[in-house]
């Protein structure tokens, strides 16, 4: 029963990780933005001579910094995304894409939002758009792996997650998703390795502990499972996740 829950609950958790702002997804992966920094122009002062008094050096006036509207919209969208407000987040990510059609992470997060709202074809379209912009993008492979996992294509999902990790070895979310796929195939040892790696890379992401707790519970490592579930129960702000963790702790004979 717990092994089945490992698969079902973890698949639900697969797209629940708003990691982008918490872990380093390898900034080169999303460096489709050209950052234009404000410049400063200084005039060359005229040196003093014997016949002319030195001219005062002009005061440089730095250019006014301007906020990139796409980045501002993306920040707003990620705030909604992290609060599981996926419908409004989709609208905000769409604004980002309108402002900057090359903003790859906006397509990725909108795709994840579409999956959360059950709009799989729209999610797939966004992932395909990522590949059209960059055929070797870790976000693209991770997103396609998630879709393959939803469709039960676990071998294809594993290949995609492997590629995402190869492109970005610090992609915590990809390790987590690969661990879920291993768990769905009954390869709990491999799943535990990946969940622990995801936690190492991003210890602030609570859902990673929940997934690892499920994996520990599925092989009878109850003390370790309780420890992970207790962390979720005590630190998560997601009431559904907290309630699930509490149930597992009690079922395993622990105390929240």
Q: Specify if 33 maps to a domain.
A: no
Residue 244 domain flag: yes
Domain count, the chain: 1
> Minimum mean pLDDT among 42-51, 80-89, 163-172, 210-219: which range?
42-51
- Output DSSP code: residue 14: T
Distance CA 77, CA 97 (A): 11
The residue that leads in pLDDT, 59 or 35, is 59
pLDDT digits (tens, 9 = 90+) for 64-79: 555 799 999 999 999 9
CATH for 200: 1.25.40.10
Residue 191's alpha-carbon distances to 4, 126, 158, 185, in angstroms, are 14, 28, 12, 10
Measured CA to CA, the distance from residue 120 to residue 149 in angstroms comes to 12
- Residue 38 within any structural domain of the chain: no
- 29 occurs within a structural domain: no
CA angle 226, 227, 228 (to 5 degrees): 90
- Cα–Cα distance measured from residue 159 to residue 6, given in angstroms and rounded to the nearest whole number: 21
The range of the structural domain enclosing residue 139 comes to: 2-14+68-251
Per residue in 125-155, pLDDT (tens digit) is 999 999 999 999 999 999 999 999 999 999 9
Does any domain span residue 232?
Answer: yes
Is position 213 within any domain?
A: yes
For 108-190, strand residue ranges (E) read none
- As a whole number of angstroms, the distance between CA 179 and CA 212 comes to 9
- Are 164 and 147 a contacting pair, CB within 8 Å? no
Residue 140 within any structural domain of the chain: yes
- Classify burial at 37, counting beta carbons within 10 Å of its beta carbon; exposed 0-12, middle 13-18, buried 19 or more: exposed
Residues 99 and 78: their CA atoms lie apart, in Å, by: 16
**Domain-embedded: residue 235:** yes
Say what percent of the chain tops pLDDT 90: 73
């Amino acid at each position: 029963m717990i092994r089945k829950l490992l698969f079902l609950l973890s698949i639900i958790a697969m797209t629940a990780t708003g990691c982008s702002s918490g872990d380093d997804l390898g900034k080169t992966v999303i460096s489709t933005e050209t950052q234009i920094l404000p410049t400063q122009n200084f005039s060359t002062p005229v040196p003093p001579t014997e016949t002319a008094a030195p001219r005062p050096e002009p005061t440089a006036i730095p250019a006014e910094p301007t906020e990139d509207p796409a980045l501002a919209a993306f920040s707003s969208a990620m705030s909604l995304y992290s609060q599981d407000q996926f419908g409004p987040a989709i609208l905000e990510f769409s604004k980002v894409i309108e402002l900057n059609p090359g903003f790859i992470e906006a397509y990725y997060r909108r795709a994840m939002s579409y999956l959360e709202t059950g709009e799989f074809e729209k999610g797939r379209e966004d992932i395909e758009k990522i590949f059209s912009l960059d055929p070797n993008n870790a976000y693209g492979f991770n997103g396609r792996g998630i879709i393959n996992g939803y469709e039960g294509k676990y071998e294809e999902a594993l290949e995609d997650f492997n590629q995402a990790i190869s492109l970005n070895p610090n992609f915590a979310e990809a390790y987590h998703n690969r661990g879920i796929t291993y768990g769905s195939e009954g390869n709990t040892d491999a799943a535990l390795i990946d969940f622990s790696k995801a936690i190492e890379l991003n210890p602030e992401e609570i859902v990673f502990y929940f997934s690892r707790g499920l994996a520990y519970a599925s092989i009878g490592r109850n003390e370790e499972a309780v420890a992970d579930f207790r962390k979720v129960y005590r630190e998560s702000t997601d009431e559904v996740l907290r309630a699930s963790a509490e149930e597992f702790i009690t079922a395993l004979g622990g105390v929240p």
